[in-house]
């Protein structure tokens, strides 16, 4: 595990990354004064609500572990946050998880109404692909690989929407390790893995590097989900910025529900170590990825 000093350093790094990513997002999303203003206000409300930006941060760090200066990677990286935010807005709708609180604020539909929340989600999803099509500094071949990667990771077969469907249909079913695995791998795992892969593809990774980074992405994705589930049981709504204890109330299939809290914590640590192992072929340019894996397991919110 890292020392306290190293943790302080990685937190400074993450903090600076968040503000870089936010400024790129600000350039791509139409200003709240652009007509029709209401939809742009709704998109911006959810997008700039203090997210951790873990997916773009992973993409940038992966690109930098392959190339010294992957110029413009922040543009490609921010599309992952557009997709993530759209999925949160739609997940929070009354027809789905019916959540009132997200990132410490009322959810999009509570502020703008259900219709505008549905359309704001659709708009962020659409914008992600527009941004990829208009990336500066990278050739069409690479852009199209990024479009494919993002679309597949967001889709129904092994992708984010598929996981969301399994999650909804899994409610009130007996929590099994197999069911849990199928939900998590798709629902959060696919986009986290794609984050690392998109960074690697952007930077021109070799097949071998891409395979190693994909493996890292899978372990980090699993660690992230386990810790998320554990925090839902342990932490308060205030520190999470969303309603705590909701998984159990909704009879969601989670790691604590299947394995118990203690075993879940051990599993997260195992995934952290496996993420480090996956990076063994990389030099110190991959240190940020190593620190991110540590941070994901140690975080308290």
Q: Among residues 63 and 117, whose Cβ is nearest to a second copy?
A: 117
Q: How far is the CB of 122 from a second copy (least distance, A)?
A: 6
| Least CB distance to a second copy at residue 44 (A) | 11
Give least dist CB 129 to a second copy, A.
5
Could you tell me which residues come within 8 angstroms of residue 122 by beta carbon, excluding any fewer than 6 positions away? 86
The least distance separating a second copy from the CB of residue 42, rounded to whole angstroms, comes to 9
For residue 144, count other CB atoms closer than 10 A to its CB: 12
* Residue with Cβ nearer a second copy (86 or 282): 86
Q: How far is the CB of 260 from a second copy (least distance, A)?
A: 27
90 near 121, Cβ under 8 Å? yes
Tokens for 63? 């690109």
What ranges in the chain are assigned the alpha helix state H? 4-28, 37-47, 54-66, 73-92, 108-112, 114-133, 140-154, 160-170, 177-184, 190-202, 207-234, 237-240, 246-249, 255-259, 261-278, 287-298
Which CB sits closer to a second copy, 49 or 179?
179
The DSSP letter of residue 69 is: -
Q: How far apart are CA 61 and CA 42, in angstroms?
A: 30
| Separation between Cα atoms, residue 251 and residue 273, nearest integer Å | 30
Spatial distance between the Cα atoms of 200 and 61, rounded to a whole number of angstroms:
9
* Cα–Cα dist 300/17, whole Å: 19
Comparison of 166 and 291: residue with beta carbon closer to a second copy: 166
Shortest Å, Cβ 139 to a second copy? 8
Q: Between 133 and 277, whose beta carbon lies closer to a second copy?
A: 133
CA distance 110 to 116: 10
Say if residue 157 is exposed, middle or buried (CB neighbours under 10 Å; 0-12, 13-18, 19+). exposed
In angstroms, give the least distance from the CB of 253 to a second copy: 14
Task: Give the shortest CB-126-to-a second copy separation in angstroms.
Answer: 5
List residues binding a second copy (CB under 8 A).
30, 34-36, 38-40, 43, 86, 90, 93, 95-96, 113-116, 118-119, 121-123, 125-127, 129-130, 132-134, 139-141, 143-145, 147-148, 150-152, 154-157, 159, 161-162, 164-166, 168-169
Question: Which CB atom, from 139 or from 207, has the smaller least distance to a second copy?
Answer: 139
**Of residues 147 and 211, the one with the C-beta less far from a second copy:** 147
Whole-number Å distance between alpha carbons of 261 and 255: 8
The helix/strand/coil state of 16 is: helix
Q: Which residue lies nearer to a second copy by CB, 11 or 176? A: 176
């Amino acid at each position: 595990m890292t020392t306290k000093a190293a943790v302080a350093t990685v937190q400074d790094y993450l903090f600076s990354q968040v503000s870089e990513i936010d400024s790129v997002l600000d350039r791509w999303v139409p200003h709240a004064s652009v007509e029709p203003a209401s939809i742009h206000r709704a998109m911006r409300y959810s997008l700039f609500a203090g997210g951790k930006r873990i997916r773009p941060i992973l993409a940038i760090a992966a690109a930098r572990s392959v190339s010294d200066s992957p110029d413009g990677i922040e543009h490609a990286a921010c599309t992952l946050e557009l997709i993530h935010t759209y999925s949160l807005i739609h997940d929070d709708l009354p027809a789905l998880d019916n959540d009132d609180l997200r990132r410490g604020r009322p959810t999009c539909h509570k502020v703008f109404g259900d219709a505008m929340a549905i359309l704001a989600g659709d708009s962020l999803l659409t914008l992600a692909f527009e941004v990829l099509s208009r990336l500066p500094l990278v050739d069409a071949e690479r852009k199209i690989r990024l479009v494919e990667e993002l679309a597949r990771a967001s889709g129904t077969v092994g992708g984010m929407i598929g996981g969301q469907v399994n999650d909804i249909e899994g409610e009130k079913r007996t929590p099994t390790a197999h069911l849990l695995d199928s939900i998590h791998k798709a629902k959060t795992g696919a986009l986290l893995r794609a984050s690392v892969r998109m960074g690697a593809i952007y930077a021109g990774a070799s097949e071998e590097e891409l395979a190693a980074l994909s493996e890292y992405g899978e372990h980090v994705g699993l660690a992230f989900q386990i810790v998320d589930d554990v925090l839902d049981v342990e932490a308060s709504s205030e520190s999470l910025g969303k309603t705590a204890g909701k998984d159990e109330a909704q009879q969601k299939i989670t790691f604590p529900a299947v394995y118990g809290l203690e075993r879940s914590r051990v599993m997260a640590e195992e995934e952290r170590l496996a993420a480090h192992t996956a990076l063994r072929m990389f030099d110190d340019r991959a240190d940020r990825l190593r620190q991110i894996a540590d941070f994901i397991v140690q975080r308290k919110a």
